[in-house]
Chains A and B, each alone.
Chain A
Amino acid sequence: MTAPAIPDAMERTTAPALVIRDLSKWYGPVIGLNQVNLTIERGIVGVVGPNGAGKSTLLKLVTGQLRPSIGRVRVFGRSVRSLEARRDVGYCPDVDAFYEEMTGREFVRAMLRLSGFAFDEAVARADRAIAAVGMNDTAVSQRAGKRLRGCSKGMRQRIKLAQAIAHEPRLLVLDEPLSGLDPVGRREFADLITGQAASGTAVLMSSHVLTELRALADRVVLISEGRLLADQRLETFDRTIDGRPVKVVVESPDVRRIAGLLAESPLVSAVEFDELEVTFSTANPRALCEELGKIVRERGCRIERLDVPEQWAEALFDRADGA
Chain B
Amino acid sequence: MKEPKEFRGLLALAKLTARRQFWTKKTLLAIALIVVACLSAVRWRALKDPNSVRQQLRNSRTPEWLRQNWPDRLITVALAAALRVPSPVEYVRVNYKPNPTLYFAEENAMRLFVGFFLPILCLLYAAAALGEEYEERTFVYVLARPLTLWKVYLAKGLGIAPLLAVATVGGSGLLCLSAGSAGREAWPLFWPAVAAGALAYGSLFLMIGALAPKPMVVGVGYAFFFEFIAGNLPGTIKRASISFHCRCMMYDAGSHLGFQPLSARQFMPISGELALIVLVTMSVMLLGFGAWRFHRREYRDLT
The verdict on A113 contacting chain B, using a C-beta distance below 8 Å, is yes
Residues in A with CB closer than 8 Å to B1 are 121
Which residues, 150 to 185 on B, are CB-close (under 8 Å) to A?
none
User: Assuming A110-B16, A113-B9, is B2 touching A118 (CB within 8 A)?
Assistant: yes
Q: Judge whether A116 and B16 touch: CB under 8 Å.
A: no
Bitwise interface map of B from 266 to 303 toward A, beta carbon under 8 Å scored 1, else 0: 00000000000000000000000000000000111011
| Chain B 1-35: CB-based contact to A (< 8 A → 1; otherwise 0) | 11011111100110010001001000000000000
Residues of B within 8 A of A111 (CB): 141, 145
Partner of A114, one of B7, B9, B20, B137: B9
Q: Chain B nearest CB: distance from A124 CB in Å? A: 9
B52 beta carbon closer than 8 Å to chain A: no
Instruction: Verify if A208 is at the interface (C-beta below 8 Å from B).
Output: no
Tell me if B8 and A117 are in contact (CB < 8 A): yes
Does A67 contact B137, Cβ atoms closer than 8 Å? no
Q: How many residues of A contact B (CB 8 A)?
A: 34
Q: How many Å from the CB of A168 to the closest CB on chain B?
A: 11
Q: Are A65's CB and B142's CB within 8 A?
A: no
Contact call A99/B303, Cβ cutoff below 8 A: no
CB-defined contacts of B136 to chain A, threshold 8 Å: 97, 100
- In the complex, chain B residues whose CB is within 8 Å of the CB of A118: 2, 8
B140 at the interface (CB under 8 A from A): yes
Q: Please judge, given known A-B contacts A94-B303, A116-B6, A121-B2, whether A99 and B12 are in contact too, CB under 8 Å.
A: no
Among A83, A100, A114, the most chain B Cβ lie within 10 Å of the Cβ of A114
- B140 near A97 with CB under 8 A, answer yes
Q: Bound state CA distance, A227 and B1, in angstroms? A: 44
Number of A-B contacts (CB under 8 A): 88
Interface residues on B, range: 20 to 34
Q: Which of B9, B144, B299, B302 touches A89 (beta carbons < 8 Å)? A: B144
B98-109: CB near A (< 8 Å → 1, else 0) gives: 000000000000
Question: Is B148 on the interface with A (CB-CB < 8 A)?
Answer: yes
In the assembled complex, the Cα of A66 lies from the Cα of B12 at a distance in Å of: 24
Does A273 have its Cβ within 8 Å of any Cβ on chain B?
no
Do residues A86 and B144 form an inter-chain contact, with CB atoms below 8 A? Answer: yes
8 smallest beta-carbon distances between A and B, as pairs: A116-B4, A113-B12, A116-B9, A97-B137, A91-B144, A86-B146, A83-B146, A118-B2
Binding site for B on A (CB under 8 A): 27, 56, 60, 63-67, 83-84, 86-87, 89, 91, 93-95, 97-101, 110-111, 113-118, 121, 163, 167, 175
Known interface pairs A83-B148, A95-B302, A111-B141; 19 further A-B residue pairs with C-beta atoms within 8 A, sorted by A's residue number: A60-B300, A60-B303, A63-B144, A65-B140, A65-B143, A66-B300, A93-B144, A93-B302, A95-B303, A100-B136, A101-B23, A110-B16, A113-B8, A113-B16, A116-B6, A116-B7, A118-B2, A118-B8, A167-B4
